[in-house]
Chain A
Amino acid sequence: MQDLAIETNRLTRRYDGLPALNRVSIQITSGSRIALLGNNGSGKTTLLTILSTLLQSSEGSATILGYDVAKKSTALRNMIGFIRHQPMLYENFSPVEDLELFAKIYRVSDAREQIRRLLTNVGIWHLRDEAIGTFSRGQKQRLMIAKALLHKPKVLLLDEPEIGLDQSGLRVLDELILMRKEEDSSPITVLAATHREERVDTWATGFVRLERGQIIETTLSENTE
């Protein structure tokens, strides 16, 4: 059996007693690229936010690469990259300043070279000294892609990563994350919520479809424990 990157067991989250996520059990193997599908309010963001360690589940458990998400360990956080639909950037910093701070936090070695390479790859190296607050939504999203990859995470959680991206931005997203050619022996596992279902066939190795917080269709083997 292949190594599991993400495993949830009856994961449930309630808001004011109403379940936003209801007993979701999935197993995602290492290196998979899984599309998380569903209408607005189906629980996609809630699932990703719990897995990112930002939100506590009400019931059930989740592990990423064997680490319990609820314990929020440093080791786990070093292995996760998260892009959500709102940017997570210092608006009055330049991209280099923002990335340098987070490179320090994640203890990235050779940070300057890594930042130069990433900003070049996402196509905003020429904006490296401009204030992020002046960026368009698409430029911010490109920067978020660079930021998520900065510490070389093993698991990427993406919440509608296509938002704001034009055609060339989508190509960047595909090349760097969704259709990335693995360069080393430890591949990235991707769980990405998306409304762009027409694109899913080009990058996903499987999918999970949620409705009202429950899985209604999936290509994954469900955790039945």
Chain B
Amino acid sequence: MTFTTQLEIGLKLFNANLKQAWRDKTNWMTAGMFAITALLLYSFAFNLTGGLVRNLLPGVIWTVFLFSGIFATAQSFQQDRQNGILDALKISPIHPMTIYIAKTLTNILMLLLIEFALLLGATILFSEPLFIPQLLLIVTIGTIGYTALSTLLSAINLDRNNGGLLLPVLALPLLVPLLIASVEATSASLQEEANTAPWILLLSLFTIWSAAIATLMFPLAD
């Protein structure tokens, strides 16, 4: 099968994944509710105002993003496995990497929707402009990186009992460099005179590495 054919099929599968995610909202509702609750708790617990908020917001934002992301992606392939769809795809002429990329893109898109909505909410709660292009770029790159890895790990966990619980244990150590780069880049973007370029570059490198490794590893995951 040619690259163009795989791309065409991948887009169809991506579309099917989105349709499936939209119709069965369980994972995404859980992730969204967790994110909203965590953000509200942070805002009340720390009473963040003025200059102090800029020091704490990167940690707050990425903690919420990370765990809501893990909630959402932990069961990525679970439903496909239960329905038998994953096996139907595996015996079809579609390349395993196409299956992985379509699922990861679905997760990225759904998570970005939640995260951008949260940034809007956080802007109101913390009286700090967070819906700015630079921060949106950082959040997008970081989300691509951690979703690439967590989607792969959710496939590896499929045949294990409590796979969902095991995901954070496996994912967090692998995500540490990427998360540090995300937090530092976010922190720099919130400081008026700080240079964000080196952190964004480092974050991009980690993201490319994570996405490439995860894409190559997926065919070996089962």
Interface centre among B84, B88, B89, B94 (most CB of A within 10 A): B88
Q: A101-B16, A105-B12 are in contact. Are A89 and B84 (CB under 8 A)?
A: yes
- Given A74-B93, A77-B92, A78-B93, answer yes or no on A105-B9 (Cβ-Cβ < 8 Å): yes
Interface size range of chain A in the complex: 20 to 34
Contacts of B169 in A (CB 8 A): none
Q: For chain A, what secondary structure do more than half of its interface residues adopt (helix, strand, loop), or is it mixed? A: loop
Taking a contact as CB atoms under 8 Å apart, the answer to whether A86 and B93 are in contact is: no
Residues of A within 8 A of B23 (CB): 92
- Asked if B83 is an interface residue, CB under 8 A from chain A, the answer is yes
Give the CA-CA distance A182 to B152 in the complex, in Å.
Answer: 44
What is the CB-to-nearest-CB distance from B159 to chain A, in angstroms, rounded to a whole number? 12
Expressed in whole angstroms, the Cα–Cα distance for A84 and B84 within the complex equals 10
Residues of A within 8 Å of B16, CB to CB, are 90, 93, 97, 101
Chain A residues whose C-beta falls within 8 Å of the C-beta of B162 in the assembled complex: none
We find that the number of chain B residues with CB closer than 8 angstroms to chain A is 22
Does A215 touch B at the CB level, under 8 Å? no
Query: Taking the complex as formed, is A102 at the interface, i.e. its CB lies under 8 A from any CB of chain B?
Result: yes
Answer yes or no: A67 CB below 8 A from chain B CBs: no
* Given A92-B20, A92-B24, CB of A53 within 8 Å of CB of B83: no
Query: Which one of B1, B83, B90 lies within 8 Å of A89 (CB-CB)?
Result: B83
Interface residues of B in 1-25 (CB under 8 A from A): 1, 5, 8-9, 12-13, 16, 19-20, 23-24
B91 interface residue (CB < 8 Å to A): yes
Do A88 and B87 touch (CB < 8 A)?
yes
A93→B23 CA distance, assembly (Å)? 9
Partner of B93, one of A54, A101, A106: A106
Query: Are the C-beta atoms of B92 and A102 separated by less than 8 Å?
Result: yes
B7 to chain A: closest CB distance in Å? 12
Chain B residues with CB under 8 Å of A80's CB are 91
Asked if A88 contacts B84 (CB within 8 A), the reply is yes
B85 at the interface (CB under 8 A from A): yes
Give the secondary structure class of B's interface.
helix
Q: Is the Cβ of A90 less than 8 Å from the Cβ of B83?
A: yes
Interface string of A43-60 (1 = CB under 8 A from B): 000000000111000000
B24: which A residues are within 8 A, CB to CB? 92
Residue A104 lies at the interface, judged by CB distance under 8 Å to chain B: yes
Q: Which of B24, B84, B93 has the most CB of A within 10 A?
A: B93
Nearest-CB distance from A84 to chain B (Å)?
A: 8
Q: Is the CB of A91 within 8 A of B83?
A: yes
Q: Given A74-B1, A88-B87: A93 and B92 within 8 A (CB)? A: no
Assembly CA distance A89 to B16 (angstroms):
12
Q: How far is the CA of A91 from the CA of B20 in the complex (A)?
A: 9
Q: How distant is the Cα of A92 from the Cα of B85 in the complex, in angstroms?
A: 12
Residues in A with CB closer than 8 Å to B8 are 104
Q: Determine how close the nearest CB of chain A comes to the CB of B52; give it in whole angstroms.
A: 46
Q: Across the interface, do B9 and A88 meet the contact criterion of CB distance under 8 Å?
A: no
Report how far A191 CA is from B19 CA in the complex, Å: 35
A82 within 8 A of B: yes
With A106-B93, A107-B5 in contact, do A88 and B12 touch (Cβ < 8 Å)? Answer: no
Query: Is residue A87 within 8 Å, beta carbon to beta carbon, of the partner chain?
Result: yes
> In the complex the two chains form, what is the Cα distance from A201 to B84 in whole Å?
31
Give the complex CA separation of A54 and B94 in angstroms. 13
Residues of A close to B13: CB separation below 8 A: 101, 105
CB-defined A-B contacts under 8 Å, sample of 19: A54-B91, A77-B92, A77-B93, A78-B93, A84-B84, A87-B84, A88-B88, A89-B84, A90-B85, A92-B19, A93-B16, A97-B16, A101-B16, A102-B92, A104-B9, A105-B9, A105-B93, A106-B92, A147-B88
Knowing that A84-B84, A88-B83 touch, tell me 19 more A-B residue pairs with CB under 8 angstroms.
Answer: A54-B90, A54-B91, A77-B91, A77-B93, A78-B93, A84-B87, A87-B83, A88-B85, A89-B84, A89-B88, A90-B83, A92-B24, A93-B19, A93-B20, A97-B16, A104-B8, A105-B13, A106-B92, A107-B5
